[in-house]
Structure 1
Amino acid sequence: MTPKKDVTIYDIARQLNISTSTVSRALQDHPAVNKLTKKKVFKTAGEIGYQYNTFAGSLRKKSTSTIGVIVHELNSNFITSVLAGIEKVTSEAGYDIIIAHSSESYTKEAANAVNLFHKRVDGLIASLAFDTKNLDHYQPFHKKGIPIVFFDRVEPTDNSTVVVIDNFKCGYQATKHLIDQGCKRIAHITASLNRNVYAQRYQGYKKALSEHNLPFEKKQVIINDLSEEAARNAAYQLLQCTQIPDGVFITNDFTAAVFIQTLKENGIVVPDDIAIVGFNNDAISKLIEPKITTFNYPGIEMGEIAARQVVAHLKGEQNLQLTNTIIIRSDLIIRESSLKKHTPLSIVGT
């Protein structure tokens, strides 16, 4: 079957008996073309199936009306909610988004950055992979004056605008909550300490132990990839300790759910034997029994704020060079998994 030929502005001009330059101006909403002619051009374009080449037009205007987004994964409730927030703001402002994901790979993240740069995105919103070593791959954006906002996983030494929660405070609060429940031996399951989110929660955990004169034992800090297999291995590792922990702070709800299930399979009662605090307020935190005490991670709000920063810069309403760190609120949601004392359920603000 012969492919159907693309409809061009010449077809519209021929049908309306006007010049191609008039059609072109009408499609770009040029003020030199009267409203009636514009209406006829758009009506005819729709009827005969004309597709306006927005990319070619945007190159002439030196703007593609697109914003690039780099995330470290897609299979995450948190990332999905962030993307929803970004899309809401960008679509209202007339921008499309191009989403790329690194699959937790620095190499792939760098390749994504290069690709988006060559696609001439007007701005960029990014969250770093587990093993990202430096931000050299973002330098072309800086040199070109393309605004970048990093969210969640950021590089603390970079001078870019970042949108984060207070991870140190969350780590401290999670650990203190377990201490308040009577826990004396508190373990911590987390991911790469090269990333700010995990490093800061870890520091908050250590600070809470120190302030309450509880021992810090390195063997009770397990750093892994937060996968299902890693969660099961962490549970078995802690159950083999001479002194089994009576509380565990886990920086991911999925990992916490698998960890709890593994404990239950081995006759451990949660929270009576081991109290658990998770992180992210993923859907699974309310589906498993007992329901998981966790932190609300406001993904939609984080996405909206990051997108607003980029859009405002592009519209000349603010200068991102004058904005560094934006910290948004996150709450501890207390549920059954941590309540050794069976105190009332609640939400604690951070």
Structure 2
Amino acid sequence: MKKYTEITIYDIAEKLNLATSTISRALKDHRSISEKTIKKVKKTAFEMGYQPNNLAASLRNKQTKTIGVLLPTVTQPFLSSLISGIEITAKKAGYTVMIMQSHDSYDEEVNLAQSLYNNRVSGIICSLAMETQDTSHFQIFINNNTPLVFVDRVPKNFNTYRVVIDNFSAGYKATKHLIDQGCKRIAHLSVGSEFGNLYSERKKGYLEALKDHNIDIDEQLIVRLTTVTYDEAEKGTNKLLDLKNPPDGIFTPGDILGVSALQCAKKRGIKVPEELAIIGFNNDPISEIIDPNLSTITHPAEKMGQAAAKIIIKNLKSLKKDDIKEITFLNTEVLVRESSKKK
């Protein structure tokens, strides 16, 4: 087998009997080199199979033109759409994307953040792991003027850019929709850590909607889950349906949880939505496949990814650094489907 040999500018220089500095300038269309020489150099480079070493050049300049993306997982439809928005925007601006998964582990997130820093990423976009409470491992990016944007799962207290929805308002809208459908005992599957603002804000919106409509808050109707999984939601739903006075409505802060609640109810012979109205969150594809279709809250994942990438790119191009970082809010809407249509 023929051994592969990387072609360098030295090989091109030797073939054309030109200085390596001339080859380098010609490949960059430098104005000091004639158009004829530029064409000849580029033609020879192509024929010889020359590939520019962009990584080496970027490391010399201490910038890789790579945006690091650190997420809990890439398997969730919401996060897949988020990645798509980031990649589309980054590519248009000439940046590549390096994606890493924390699998909701704090320790893994710490290690991966250090790895991204070691790889000299130009900027970083992160959605926090479920376990994360201490975000000091991101301070290294701030100290080195590397743009940092938290998206969706963001820390409450960290002076950097954030791209989020108004989770309080979204939780309020979901609960109010169930109230408008005539539900009087509305349950909520609460999720995970209260450190981040995502699930805790949706829960606050749920509670506020009940208060505003003079519905008593029954702690038995609030079941806390440890993970955002189908099995966990099934356990929580069964707990709710086993109550002496079970709920007539459930707000779940994720569509996989809503689908689990819906199927759990059907297994027990409970009619959805006649006896139990259910609304989810995210507008994942599964919400339209399940029967009956799941009502949900829109979550503009791709737009959030685009917004986060634009903030990174804008910062990389700007010489001025803002002391106070902006928060970008995107709108949500209630998508009413069969699972909650009592009226």
Q: TM-score range, shorter-chain basis?
A: over 0.9
Q: Which residue number corresponds to residue 47 of structure 1?
A: 47
Q: Which residue number corresponds to residue 99 of structure 1?
A: 99
Alignment RMSD, CA only?
Answer: 1.5
**Unaligned regions of 5+ residues in structure 2, if any?**
none
Query: How far, CA to CA, are the matches of 2:223 and 2:44 in structure 1?
Result: 65
Query: How far 1:320 moved relative to its partner?
Result: 4.7
Q: For the structure 1 residues 171 and 235, does the alpha-carbon distance in structure 2 shift closer, same or farther, using more than 3 Å as the test?
A: same
Q: Which residue number corresponds to residue 74 of structure 2?
A: 74
Query: What is the CA deviation profile of residues 266-292 of structure 1, one whole-angstrom value per residue up to 9, with x for unaligned ones?
Result: 101101111001000000110111111
Q: For the structure 1 residues 254 and 320, does the alpha-carbon distance in structure 2 shift closer, same or farther, using more than 3 Å as the test?
A: farther
Superposed, 1:1-350 pairs within 5 Å as 1=1, 3-192=3-192, 193-224=194-225, 225-316=227-318, 319-341=321-343
TM-score (norm 1): 0.94
Classify the secondary structure of the residue corresponding to 1:184.
coil
Amino acid at match of 1:104: D
Query: How far 1:4 moved relative to its partner?
Result: 1.6
Classify the secondary structure of the residue corresponding to 2:234.
helix
Amino acid at match of 2:247: P
Alignment length (residue pairs):
341
Query: What is the CA deviation profile of residues 171-191 of structure 1, one whole-angstrom value per residue up to 9, with x for unaligned ones?
Result: 111111111111111110131
Amino acid at match of 1:277: I
Q: For the structure 1 residues 62 and 31, does the alpha-carbon distance in structure 2 shift closer, same or farther, using more than 3 Å as the test?
A: farther
TM-score (norm 2): 0.95
Query: How far, CA to CA, are the matches of 1:97 and 1:132 in structure 2?
Result: 23
Query: How far, CA to CA, are the matches of 2:242 and 2:17 in structure 1?
Result: 84
Conserved in 2, the CA contact under 8 Å of 1:130 and 1:194?
no
Q: Which residue number corresponds to residue 347 of structure 1?
A: none
Query: How far, CA to CA, are the matches of 2:35 and 2:80 in structure 1?
Result: 41
Query: What is the CA deviation profile of residues 137-162 of structure 1, one whole-angstrom value per residue up to 9, with x for unaligned ones?
Result: 11111111111111101012111110
Classify the secondary structure of the residue corresponding to 1:208.
helix
Query: What is the CA deviation profile of residues 213-257 of structure 1, one whole-angstrom value per residue up to 9, with x for unaligned ones?
Result: 212122221222121211221221111111110000001111211
Query: How far 1:32 moved relative to its partner?
Result: 2.6
Give aligned-pair identity as a percent: 42
Query: How far, CA to CA, are the matches of 2:178 and 2:189 in structure 1?
Result: 14
Conserved in 1, the CA contact under 8 Å of 2:156 and 2:196?
no
Conserved in 2, the CA contact under 8 Å of 1:253 and 1:285?
yes
Query: How far, CA to CA, are the matches of 2:266 and 2:196 in structure 1?
Result: 31
